[in-house]
Amino acid sequence: MRISGVKAPNKPSNQADDTFHFAAIPIIASYPVLQHAGKEALPVVHVGDRVEEGMLIAKATTMHSANIHSAIPGEVKAITSRVHVNGKKMLFIDVATGGRFRVQAKDAVRDYSNWNKQQILSELSSKGVVELDGSAVPIHIKWTTKEKSCSILVVDASEVDAYLSLAQQLLKEQLTAITSGIAIAARLLEPKTIVLVSNRTFSAELQTLSQSLKEITKLEVRELLLDAKYPYRHERLMVYSLTQERLLPSVSAEDKGMVISNIATFIASYEALAFAKPLIDRAISVAGAGVKHSRSLIAKLGTPIGFLLEECGGLTAKNATIVAHTAMLGKMVIDLDTPLTKEMVAIMALLPKETKSARPTACSGCSACFRGCPLSLAPREMYQSIKANRLDIAHAYGLSECITCGLCSYHCPARLELSQTFVQAQDKPTLTGRQ
């Protein structure tokens, strides 16, 4: 398989510096009750209630759900139904800041070395930890091996998007937490091998991590350095890079005995166990030419996106497009009060030249979409088939294999909404004949 992609710069040209900044505390933090894969959480607070930092405010309703905690102390001001940036309507819990912060102090380290697997999984679940690569799968589900065994634990320390420079900073600044978090996952999953995947430019940081892991886990630790190209870190492409095997649409990495987790997830898991810290903040990149200074922040969940943009010097242009999550996979933000949630890896502020917004024109047959597709699918044919209501033909061209990475749209000179069309078509039931 030929893997193409978009090359990532070493760091955004307007990046202010190479260290994390702690974002300021918002005046009001908002928490949508679904910011994880699975079922909505159920509010357990009422308007007027006082909450502490780290207090449970919405409880997981099933195993495939996640607890939500308040990132700030204060008072519940409203619980209202609104539309989240993902287009789904749900309850939001709004908390106005007031009172004393307690969770941030990391002086009391717990000894969890004698905990059994069930105790560890239960604590990760209780603290609302989810996979922090954007998928937001509850980690107590992902790191459970009830049905499938894990032979390879893949530590994803690569950049999620061509615009971002988050992974390298985490590797530099949070090595101890990452190492301890990987050791926790290794205890739960019992892999034979740990594979560290990162960009070629991070080899020094990866070697240090590799050395610490070998000493702590006594497992085989391998390193896989990839070109810093989007979308190499997608699960299916990572499996291909590791095994040279192309997964069928119905087969996941876990079916192949691999569990892939992002380094930010290991940090959150370690903090949950060592400091009893719920998932109330996360590392996030604020980037793009539309913001004055691209920065990596540690920000409280629930903080309005507009607040985070101000933290980075504000917008450079009124017509900047704001995107929650990554430039390729994110959703456009209309309301700057949209809160930071567990699923967001980045906030992008893009200028018109970066969004390349223009009216779509007719397909010229240039094949740029085919050349740009990392899975060598036929985006033009898939698009034309969907438009002709022939989902059966679109599937024959690879629609179900499409990872909706957006690269075909990125390369298309006719500005056709290729990947957006594929996302919608994939949501429809599997079809076998003319519609």
**Residue 419 is a binding residue for ligand SF4 (CB under 6 A):** yes
CB of 370 to ligand SF4, least distance (A): 7
Closest residue by Cα to residue 93 from 284, 365, 302, 397:
302
Would you say 208 or 364 has its CB closer to ligand SF4? Answer: 364
> Contact, 131 vs 265, CB < 8 A?
yes
**Residue 364 is a binding residue for ligand SF4 (CB under 6 A):** yes
Q: What is the DSSP letter of 202?
A: G
249: left (phi over 0), alpha (psi -120 to 50) or beta: alpha
Token digits of residue 200: 């070629």
CB of 373 to ligand SF4, least distance (A): 3
CA distance 325 to 301: 14
Would you say 79 or 402 has its CB closer to ligand SF4? Answer: 402
Binding to ligand SF4 in span 78-137, by CB under 6 A: none
CB of 375 to ligand SF4, least distance (A): 5
CB of 377 to ligand SF4, least distance (A): 4
- How many residues touch ligand SF4 under the rule CB under 6 A: the total is 29
CB of 224 to ligand SF4, least distance (A): 21
Q: How many CB atoms lie within 10 A of CB 357?
A: 11
**Residue 326 is a binding residue for ligand SF4 (CB under 6 A):** no
**Residue 228 is a binding residue for ligand SF4 (CB under 6 A):** no
**Residue 224 is a binding residue for ligand SF4 (CB under 6 A):** no
Q: Looking at 177, 375, 386, 391, which residue binds ligand SF4 (CB under 6 A)?
A: 375
Q: Looking at 380, 386, 391, 425, which residue binds ligand SF4 (CB under 6 A)?
A: 380
**Residue 406 is a binding residue for ligand SF4 (CB under 6 A):** yes
Mark out the alpha helices in 70-219 (DSSP H runs): 117-126, 139-142, 167-173, 175-189, 203-217
CB of 431 to ligand SF4, least distance (A): 18
**Residue 373 is a binding residue for ligand SF4 (CB under 6 A):** yes
CB of 230 to ligand SF4, least distance (A): 10
**Residue 175 is a binding residue for ligand SF4 (CB under 6 A):** no
Would you say 181 or 374 has its CB closer to ligand SF4? Answer: 374
> Would strands 281-287 and 346-350 be described as parallel, antiparallel, or unpaired?
parallel
**Residue 226 is a binding residue for ligand SF4 (CB under 6 A):** no
Q: Looking at 366, 389, 420, 434, which residue binds ligand SF4 (CB under 6 A)?
A: 366
**Residue 6 is a binding residue for ligand SF4 (CB under 6 A):** no
Cα–Cα–Cα angle for 285, 291, 292, nearest 5°?
A: 110
Helix, strand, coil % over all residues of the chain, rounded to 5: 30, 25, 45
CB of 424 to ligand SF4, least distance (A): 12
> Contact, 101 vs 73, CB < 8 A?
yes
Token digits of residue 234: 């997608």
> Contact, 134 vs 325, CB < 8 A?
yes
Would you say 32 or 374 has its CB closer to ligand SF4? Answer: 374
CA distance 138 to 63: 9
**Residue 433 is a binding residue for ligand SF4 (CB under 6 A):** no
CA distance 261 to 255: 15
**Residue 403 is a binding residue for ligand SF4 (CB under 6 A):** yes
Q: Looking at 51, 402, 421, 425, which residue binds ligand SF4 (CB under 6 A)?
A: 402
> Contact, 179 vs 194, CB < 8 A?
no
242 by DSSP, 3-state: which?
Answer: helix
State residue 31 phi and psi, 5-degree precision: -125, 105
CA distance 264 to 133: 8
> Contact, 4 vs 31, CB < 8 A?
no
Q: Looking at 394, 416, 421, 425, which residue binds ligand SF4 (CB under 6 A)?
A: 416
**Residue 407 is a binding residue for ligand SF4 (CB under 6 A):** yes
CB of 137 to ligand SF4, least distance (A): 21
CA distance 338 to 316: 20
In the chain, what is the straight-line distance between the N-terminal and C-terminal CA atoms, in Å?
A: 32
**Residue 368 is a binding residue for ligand SF4 (CB under 6 A):** yes
**Residue 369 is a binding residue for ligand SF4 (CB under 6 A):** yes
Length of the chain: 435
In a 13 Å sphere around the CA of 374, the CA atoms on its Cβ side amount to 27
**Residue 36 is a binding residue for ligand SF4 (CB under 6 A):** no
Would you say 99 or 413 has its CB closer to ligand SF4? Answer: 413
CB of 376 to ligand SF4, least distance (A): 8
Would you say 239 or 405 has its CB closer to ligand SF4? Answer: 405
**Interface positions with ligand SF4 (CB under 6 A):** 363-369, 372-375, 377, 379-380, 402-408, 411-414, 416, 418-419, 422
